Homo-oligomer: A and B are copies of this chain.
Amino acid sequence: MPLFSPRLTVAQVEEGHALAPKFDAAGLIPVVTTDAATGEVLMMGVMNAEALTRSIATGEAHYWSRSRQRLWHKGVTSGLIQKIVEMRIDDDQDAIWLRVQVAGGASCHVGYRSCFYRAVPLGGVGAPELRFTESEKLFDPAEVYGDAPNPTQL
């Protein structure tokens, strides 16, 4: 039996019990991942159909890595596996929310707990000065990743 249902009507997609995800033109669906205990947003990523299928089957977060163009079982390199406590899908089924427990406590390749470690000040004039919300890294990326290419692209 297929995991995903066809998208037939707005009512079915919004109010039904069938999983009928909408992947974009590139075959991807956006994912937000939060810490199940604190509610903190850890990262945003994307899944393709295979990553979503594997995440559902295994209860561990799998993404599609756009920088590496391959399936990405998060934590296989770093040890920072994300155990999914709850998976949710949104009204029109084009976005996924994962509530996870993270082994090791860090999610970000830069070494911080969350990828969102800088706040943008509001209401000012001119260029905003970002404020760091985390003061220390939980691991040293050079030790964990060695000379693997940095996923950040300019």
Contact = CB atoms under 8 A, between A and B. Distances in A.
Interface of A: 1-5, 7-10, 13-19, 22, 30, 32, 34, 38-41, 43-44, 55-59, 84, 86-92, 95-97, 108-110, 112, 115-120, 122-131, 133, 150-154
Contact of A126 (B3, B10, B88, B153): B3
A97 B122 contact: no
Nearest to A123: B59
Contacts of A153: 22, 92
A4 B126 CA distance: 9
A87 B131 CA distance: 10
Contact of A152 (B86, B91, B119): B91
A114 to B, nearest CB: 8
B39 A38 contact: yes
A91 B109 contact: yes
A149 to B, nearest CB: 10
Contacts of A152: 10, 13-14, 91-92
A87 B56 contact: no
Contact of A44 (B22, B30, B56, B84): B30
B44 A128 contact: no
A117 B91 contact: yes
Which residue, of A4, A43, A90, has the highest number of chain B Cβ atoms within 10 A? A90
Contacts of A116: 88-90, 95, 97
